[in-house]
A and B are shown apart, each in its own frame.
Chain A
Amino acid sequence: MWLVLLIGVLASVLGLGASSPVAAQDDGDDGDDTAEAAESIGGQLRTRTAEGEDVFAEGVTMIVFDADGNEVGSAVSDAEGRWRVALPGPGVYDVQLDVATLPEEVPLRDEGRDRLEGIDVRAGAAQNTLFPLGEAIESSDNTIRFLQLTVDGIKLGLIIAMCSIGLSLIYGTTGLTNFAHGEMVTFGAITAFIVHVVYPGRIFGIPGTNSLVFAALVTIVLAGALGWALNEFVWKRLRNRGASLIAALVVSIGMAIFIRYIYLFQFEGRARFYRDYQIQEQWDLGIIRLAPKDLFIIAFSTTVLIGVGLALQKTRAGKAMRAVADNRDLAESSGIDVESVIKWVWIAGSALAATGGVLFGLTENINWEMGFRLLLLMFAGVTLGGLGTAYGALFGSLIVGIFIQLIAYPSWFPSDMKNVGALGMLVIILLVRPQGLLGRKERIG
């Protein structure tokens, strides 16, 4: 009964977010005093050849639409690839690049990224946009390529790690193999999208509320609350009814499918992107090139994960979590409130998964099945590290992330098969060392 109710609540929350079209416009109440300032959208269409020469795309038609989909104006890029369209006022605009007018030697880097949506133009701003063109520069130097892939892999591994700590701790404390954990990742990404893009800057009119950082904070709080609610109203009840672990596992699969298709139902199948940090010019860090957001993601998730590690190691709550994960009965008999520990594992694990979802949405895109795709990688990481151990999840996920990127190092390896490499690794680990790298043998029973 509670299950239905809870899922209903979740559905209506999501429904609230996505039932209005993804377009929100300031009602012009702050536009009156800055009417003279000339807002515009523009940019420079250029790419760089492997030799480092700049190539500009000339004669490309750029069309700007307002939030209601009406054309505002268009421009054609000049010999240096520059273009600019004057706007009637501040607001949210979309920019469409007319692919037919692109010169053949500079195609779009990502096919389908010919439209930037939800560009927020503030009063008086000459907003710049960036359409990545040309082939992504593949360095001819193999060492550099290797380093680049390793850094990408570390980034992915950190995100997987952040998502999978909860998975591993929930397994450790309750024995539940939670197949719905991936949906918590998607929940994070989509909730942040709704706060950030669908209702930008409309939250209590407080400045700064339209930034992605604010959206992420809201998301983390909501995800923690959702994790608490899931435990309180679904999993705790199932545990108290004495449901078997297999039954609970099947319940989690059913919930995962149900929630995933609610996402699809409300969010549609296409990929979305956050408005902030959507496209950034890459920084040249001497040897490798990184977008600032990637650097931020790596630094941020490392900090969070070190924090989680310290909390598990040093704080009372963290020690209690590890104790319960290690041996529930022993922990209970030594006076630890096991139900309270499980509650906090759910809250923290869900919040971390949602945070990972926002970061994953930032590096790739936001779509309805991102969590499920990540779930299998999380399982690979957690199994590699040892199911049920917190540090194992960290360690294994990092290896999986790096492995996924590096497997594409030999150029003959088809990049669409990267995840197959990780899943294949999962199978092989179970063949060779089923308890994982940090697990103890008795765990596999």
Chain B
Amino acid sequence: MDWGAILETIFRGLIGEQFVYFGLAAIGLNLHFGFTGLLNFGQAAFMAAGAYGLAIIVTTLAPRINDDEGMFQLNIGEGWMFVIGVFFGVIVFPIVLALLMGIPTLRLRADYLAIVTIAVAEIIRITMRSPRWDWFTGASDGLSGFSRTFYDLSPFDPGGRYFFNLFIGNQFFLVLVGWAVLAVSALICWLIIRSPWGRVLKAIREDEDAARALGKNAYSYKMQALILGGIFGAIGGMLRAIGFSLAQPDNFITDVTFFVWVALILGGAGKVLAPLVGAGILYAVLNGTDAFLREAVANDVISDELLSGTQVGQVRFMLMGLLLALLAAFRPQGIFGNKEEMALDDR
């Protein structure tokens, strides 16, 4: 058993790529659920919006609109296409998606929003998978080849190892950018919550009727919160796609949403730093378990009959589901949450 490697994996889970992706998505979910009380079970769709916004612009559209012989000869440079892609992925797609999810449901009770957000996330994933739009979305293989511009900006040697030898050059660049984005996002979140706008969100969470009685348009505020939280989710999803250099529909299955949920509830919904702590701890635990089991199987500490290599990958999902159920049942306020303020209550 290589305990060093296991410890390294745990540490990497605590601060590495997955911490960045899911921390960002959880910041968004915190805005939805923690501050506004929206039961969004489609955060994976917002992540997909970020990933596909970039991928569709750069991989699908760029060669077609810059084609010397095609209909359009716009000749937009690669860097600019990347910027446009980021704009679409971070702003346009999440807004469209939030409108799609929010318009039918934000006037209804929480559990309807839960069902519709899951349904919309599945609609998007299945549509992305369909061979019918293969040229546009890449079907089940997904799209690739959109991340070069990003890595070209990296000042690090792609072959070198950085940060206690944890990351190779490109990874370290991604993680560094991710940390910066995370810090800025957390700061924005903190400022928002202290603002009058943020106080209205909390008021809606606590008592929507009261907020409405005071003349606040609850529907509009909830929509704004859905959009803003979706944007954070989309940034997380976009970084994830850049990290994989691939935007693939099956990377955004509904279970992805629940990893974000566990991260949020673990930290404590309604606290600004909770998503970061939750995501870090969650991935330290998941990756640690994963690495431990793989080592154990490889060294025959656990026999093959009990647990095969492919089955190790499924343990992470079981663990996530179990954590979610136990947290919701026994500690809904998470590590930092305040039971009076935030305990997965009815709203």
The interface residues of chain A lying within 8 Å CB-to-CB of B84 are none
- From A248, A259, A376, A423, name the one whose CB has the most chain B CB atoms within 10 angstroms: A423
Nearest CB of chain A from residue B313's CB, rounded to whole Å: 10
The interface residues of chain B lying within 8 Å CB-to-CB of A7 are 322
Q: In the complex the two chains form, is A247's CB within 8 Å of B120's CB?
A: no
Q: In the complex the two chains form, is B123's CB within 8 Å of A424's CB?
A: yes
Q: In the complex the two chains form, is A257's CB within 8 Å of B320's CB?
A: yes
Query: What is the chain A residue whose CB lies nearest that of B113?
Result: A430
Residue from the list B112, B115, B332 in contact with A247, Cβ < 8 A: B332
Q: A246-B344, A428-B104, A434-B108 known; A417 and B132 CB under 8 Å? A: yes
Q: What total of chain A residues lie within 8 Å of the partner, measured CB to CB?
A: 47
Q: In the complex the two chains form, is B131's CB within 8 Å of A414's CB?
A: yes
Q: In the complex the two chains form, is B129's CB within 8 Å of A427's CB?
A: no
Task: Tell me whether A264 is interfacial, beta carbon within 8 Å.
Answer: yes
Q: In the complex the two chains form, is B132's CB within 8 Å of A414's CB?
A: yes
Q: In the complex the two chains form, is A177's CB within 8 Å of B120's CB?
A: no
Task: Tell me whether B7 is interfacial, beta carbon within 8 Å.
Answer: no
List residues of B (77-116) whose CB comes within 8 Å of A's CBs: 100, 103-105, 107-112, 114-116
Q: In the complex the two chains form, is B329's CB within 8 Å of A3's CB?
A: yes
The interface residues of chain A lying within 8 Å CB-to-CB of B327 are 254
Q: Kindly supply a per-residue 1/0 record for chain A positions 1-15, scoring 1 wherever the CB is within 8 Å of any chain B CB and 0 otherwise.
A: 001100100000000
The secondary structure that dominates the A interface is helix
Nearest CB of chain B from residue A426's CB, rounded to whole Å: 5
Q: A3-B326, A247-B344, A430-B104 known; A177 and B130 CB under 8 Å? A: no
Bound complex: CA of A444 vs CA of B131, how far in Å?
38
Q: Kindly supply a per-residue 1/0 record for chain B positions 167-193, scoring 1 wherever the CB is within 8 Å of any chain A CB and 0 otherwise.
A: 000000000000000000000000000
Q: In the complex the two chains form, is B329's CB within 8 Å of A379's CB?
A: no
Bound complex: CA of A243 vs CA of B343, how far in Å?
9
Residue from the list A177, A251, A419, A423 in contact with B328, Cβ < 8 A: A251
Q: In the complex the two chains form, is B325's CB within 8 Å of A3's CB?
A: yes
Q: In the complex the two chains form, is B123's CB within 8 Å of A434's CB?
A: no
The interface residues of chain B lying within 8 Å CB-to-CB of A265 are 311, 314-315, 318
Nearest CB of chain B from residue A110's CB, rounded to whole Å: 17
Residue from the list B104, B107, B115, B324 in contact with A250, Cβ < 8 A: B324
Bound complex: CA of A261 vs CA of B255, how far in Å?
11
Nearest CB of chain A from residue B241's CB, rounded to whole Å: 22
Bound complex: CA of A247 vs CA of B39, how far in Å?
11
Bound complex: CA of A420 vs CA of B317, how far in Å?
25
Nearest CB of chain B from residue A268's CB, rounded to whole Å: 8
Q: Kindly supply a per-residue 1/0 record for chain B positions 314-341, scoring 1 wherever the CB is within 8 Å of any chain A CB and 0 otherwise.
A: 1101101111111111001000000000
Task: Tell me whether B119 is interfacial, beta carbon within 8 Å.
Answer: yes
Q: Kindly supply a per-residue 1/0 record for chain A positions 133-146, scoring 1 wherever the CB is within 8 Å of any chain B CB and 0 otherwise.
A: 00000000000000
Residue from the list B103, B119, B126, B347 in contact with A416, Cβ < 8 A: B126
Residue from the list A246, A257, A430 in contact with B346, Cβ < 8 A: A246
The interface residues of chain A lying within 8 Å CB-to-CB of B346 are 244-246
Task: Tell me whether B206 is interfacial, beta carbon within 8 Å.
Answer: no
Task: Tell me whether A335 is interfacial, beta carbon within 8 Å.
Answer: no
Bound complex: CA of A262 vs CA of B311, how far in Å?
10
List residues of A (11-41) whose CB comes within 8 Å of B's CBs: 19
The interface residues of chain A lying within 8 Å CB-to-CB of B258 are 253-254, 257
Q: In the complex the two chains form, is B119's CB within 8 Å of A423's CB?
A: yes
Task: Tell me whether A229 is interfacial, beta carbon within 8 Å.
Answer: no
Q: A3-B329, A238-B329, A419-B126 known; A250 and B321 CB under 8 Å? A: no
Q: In the complex the two chains form, is B116's CB within 8 Å of A427's CB?
A: yes
Q: In the complex the two chains form, is A244's CB within 8 Å of B345's CB?
A: yes
List residues of B (287-329) whose CB comes within 8 Å of A's CBs: 305, 311, 314-315, 317-318, 320-329
Q: In the complex the two chains form, is A246's CB within 8 Å of B119's CB?
A: no
- From B115, B123, B132, B265, name the one whose CB has the most chain A CB atoms within 10 angstroms: B115
Bound complex: CA of A346 vs CA of B129, how far in Å?
36
Q: In the complex the two chains form, is A444's CB within 8 Å of B109's CB?
A: yes
Residue from the list A264, A431, A444 in contact with B314, Cβ < 8 A: A264
The interface residues of chain A lying within 8 Å CB-to-CB of B318 are 257-258, 261-262, 265
Task: Tell me whether B252 is interfacial, beta carbon within 8 Å.
Answer: no
Bound complex: CA of A379 vs CA of B105, how far in Å?
14
The interface residues of chain B lying within 8 Å CB-to-CB of A259 are 321
Task: Tell me whether B118 is interfacial, beta carbon within 8 Å.
Answer: yes
Nearest CB of chain B from residue A81's CB, rounded to whole Å: 32
Bound complex: CA of A416 vs CA of B126, how far in Å?
8
Residue from the list A247, A416, A430 in contact with B343, Cβ < 8 A: A247
Query: What is the chain B residue whose CB lies nearest that of A423?
Result: B119
Task: Tell me whether B149 is interfacial, beta carbon within 8 Å.
Answer: no
Task: Tell me whether B127 is interfacial, beta carbon within 8 Å.
Answer: yes
Q: In the complex the two chains form, is B127's CB within 8 Å of A430's CB?
A: no
Q: In the complex the two chains form, is A258's CB within 8 Å of B332's CB?
A: no
Nearest CB of chain B from residue A168's CB, rounded to whole Å: 13
Q: In the complex the two chains form, is A383's CB within 8 Å of B115's CB?
A: yes
Bound complex: CA of A253 vs CA of B259, how far in Å?
12
Task: Tell me whether A288 is interfacial, beta carbon within 8 Å.
Answer: no
Bound complex: CA of A212 vs CA of B325, how far in Å?
34
Q: In the complex the two chains form, is B129's CB within 8 Å of A416's CB?
A: yes
Q: Kindly supply a per-residue 1/0 record for chain B positions 245-289, scoring 1 wherever the CB is within 8 Å of any chain A CB and 0 otherwise.
A: 000000000010010010001000000000000000000000000
Task: Tell me whether A380 is interfacial, beta carbon within 8 Å.
Answer: yes
Bound complex: CA of A417 vs CA of B41, how far in Å?
21
Task: Tell me whether A256 is interfacial, beta carbon within 8 Å.
Answer: yes
Task: Tell me whether A255 is interfacial, beta carbon within 8 Å.
Answer: yes
The interface residues of chain B lying within 8 Å CB-to-CB of A247 are 328-329, 332, 343-345
Task: Tell me whether B141 is interfacial, beta carbon within 8 Å.
Answer: no
The interface residues of chain A lying within 8 Å CB-to-CB of B305 are 19
Q: In the complex the two chains form, is B119's CB within 8 Å of A426's CB?
A: yes
Q: In the complex the two chains form, is A246's CB within 8 Å of B345's CB?
A: yes
Bound complex: CA of A434 vs CA of B343, how far in Å?
28
Q: In the complex the two chains form, is B130's CB within 8 Å of A254's CB?
A: no
Task: Tell me whether B122 is interfacial, beta carbon within 8 Å.
Answer: yes
Q: A257-B320, A258-B322, A262-B318 known; A376 and B39 CB under 8 Å? A: no
The interface residues of chain A lying within 8 Å CB-to-CB of B118 are 376
Q: In the complex the two chains form, is B122's CB within 8 Å of A261's CB?
A: no
Bound complex: CA of A383 vs CA of B116, how far in Å?
10
Bound complex: CA of A124 vs CA of B123, how far in Å?
52
Query: What is the chain B residue whose CB lies nearest that of A418?
Result: B126
Task: Tell me whether A225 is interfacial, beta carbon within 8 Å.
Answer: no
Query: What is the chain A residue whose CB lies nearest that of B124?
Result: A420
The interface residues of chain B lying within 8 Å CB-to-CB of A238 are 329
A-B contact pairs, 12 of them (CB 8 A): A3-B325, A249-B39, A250-B325, A254-B321, A254-B325, A257-B318, A257-B321, A383-B112, A417-B127, A419-B126, A427-B120, A444-B108
A257-B317, A265-B311, A416-B129 given; 18 more Cβ-contact pairs under 8 Å: A244-B343, A244-B344, A245-B346, A246-B39, A246-B345, A254-B258, A254-B328, A258-B325, A259-B321, A383-B112, A417-B130, A423-B119, A423-B123, A424-B123, A426-B116, A428-B104, A430-B104, A431-B104
- Which A-B residue pairs are the 3 nearest by beta carbons? A254-B325, A257-B321, A254-B324
